[in-house]
Amino acid sequence: PTFANAIYSISKRRLWRCQRYIGELKLISQITMLLRPLLLLTFLSAFFLSLSAQVSGVITDSKGEALPFASIYIRGTSTGTTSNIQGEYFLELTPGTYELVFQYVGYKQRIESIVIGVEPLRLNMVLLEETIDLNEVVVKADAEDPAYEVIRKAIAKRKYYRDQVEAYSCNVYIKGNMKFLDAPEKFLGQEIGTMGGSLDSNRQGIIYLSESQAKLYFQEPNHFKEEMIYSKVSGNDRGFGFNRASDMDFNLYRNYALLGRQIISPIAANALQYYRYKLRGTLYDEEGRLINKIELIPKRSEDPVYQGYIYIVEDLWNIQSVDLMLSSGAMKQPGLDSLYIRQVHVPVQEPDVWRIFSQTIRFRAGLFGFRLAGDFTGIYGDYELNQAFEHRFFALEVFRVNEGANEKDQLFWDSIRPIPLTLEEKIDYVRKDSLQLIRETKEYKDSVDRRSNRFTPLNLVFGYAYSNSYKRKYITMGSPVSTIQYNTVQGFNGDLQFNFRKEFDEYNMRWLEIAPRLSYGLADKRLRARAGFTYRFNRTNRATLNIEGGIDAFQFNPENPITK
């Protein structure tokens, strides 16, 4: 009425027009009222067609113990998920009828038929330990274990399965978690504290938690290319996790995998020189396939070989799953105590194309009083086999990060994450993301800088660093003592190194660095000066300009016969 009166006060003609428009609107409103049921039905139909419901639950054994990293996938596909360390899982599915396969290495596979509507479905699953059949296996004292026959047939088919798919692409989700089990109060006389809020009062806590979603491309013989689409790091919205599917490549159809040493595959061409095998039994999966469970026993404790079990499919002679362990003696990696690898392979194309569906790598390490445990779980799906890649597709880059990959919030990750977070991981995300907000304030950065920028006479010996964190400017002077060396030309010599760094954005995507250096040799009594200039245009594609100049001393012989 107020609007109408205002119109009337201006012009009766305008009021007449307004009344005409109101009449038209009433007519439209009446038509809309008549069509409302049809419109509502149309909207609801489109809405429900786009809905997906969540299947969730806990996977346990017959004793009620959680089964971590169990595989759950739609029968006949590579679409699925794995359970977390507490046995919890969830899977987003559109309405329909599905057959879900529940699989855990060492336990009997189960297939469950479900009907998905619009309501969430709770489906807890109990898996029973595998029923091993050894009634028909009779091994005499001087006879060869039946496992050797199975392994020889698997070795004979190794190249076939290695080269079976010349090229493919797939989607890979990886979650990485590293946690301190114990940490000393001090290290080299320096207080460690809580390591930025990571450690609790028991000196335990998560120090790295990250998730990533990537596209992986592969072409024989060994070409990988990886595109990181999304990435999240707990407490660091600027960072990119070092979750890389190509680094988790433990393909047992190759003769060996590189892990410091060449770790010999249990079905490598020369595997019989390194392994002893025992057939621990046979079992049938839900598809009626006979699976051979074979124990792997190293012939020598220090050999670069796996221990554990490999499951071979009868007649196909391919790998169904593995549960392996590498000891510190096998790896010879300082500080790395043990490493566990669990893989599940699923059929993706008839008659005999199987691909890896899930892989979990767990490890324990310890050094200088620190005890660390970690796990990285990858879920592989949506395989596209025998793709034809363009020429030089793998030549220009092997890894790239999409722009904006680390800008997705927690709600987004909750919607795409296939592996449920544990309570500890949820708390870690909340705590560290909250701490990051505090640490980004000017007051916090200035207070930290005031403490760390204090100069003492010892800095002339051990080096000095000045920071203006809020303006992202940093100046460092290296320790002259740490640079003292000796060679036969300069005699005793040392360096005085400086570094200036300016970061131009909060994500450290673009930065400038200038690094001058002076060196002097007592024997040749010559002062040498050099400087380097580095400008990073873009961290995403690593576009960088680097210029260096000056005078320096270096060994002409590329074999470096004179050690530092």
H or E, element range at 146: none
Structure tokens at 370: 């620190």
Give residue for tokens 């996790």: 241
The size of the chain, in residues, is 564
What are the residues facing 107 on neighbouring strands?
129
Residue 352 sits at φ, ψ, to 5 deg, of -145, 25
3-class SS of residue 162? helix
User: From CA 162, how far away is CA 160, in angstroms rounded?
Assistant: 6
CA distances from 118 to 51, 54, 75 (A): 7, 9, 21
Give residue for tokens 């930065």: 511
| Strand pairing category for 125-126 and 53-60 | parallel
> In the prediction, which pLDDT does 33 show?
47
User: From CA 75, how far away is CA 85, in angstroms rounded?
Assistant: 23
User: From CA 172, how far away is CA 231, in angstroms rounded?
Assistant: 12
User: From CA 172, how far away is CA 419, in angstroms rounded?
Assistant: 12
> 524: which DSSP letter?
T
What pTM did the predictor assign?
A: 0.74
CA distances from 157 to 27, 264, 313, 561 (A): 76, 17, 12, 47
Structure tokens at 425: 């991981």
* Residue (of 152, 225, 526) closest to 389 by Cα position: 225
> In the prediction, which pLDDT does 44 show?
38
481: exposed, middle or buried (Cβ count in 10 Å: 0-12, 13-18, 19+): exposed
Give residue for tokens 């012939």: 299
User: From CA 511, how far away is CA 402, in angstroms rounded?
Assistant: 19
User: From CA 267, how far away is CA 254, in angstroms rounded?
Assistant: 8
Alpha-carbon dihedral 134, 140, 143, 145, rounded to 10 degrees: 20
Those residues of the chain that have pLDDT short of 50 are: 1-50
User: From CA 105, how far away is CA 265, in angstroms rounded?
Assistant: 19
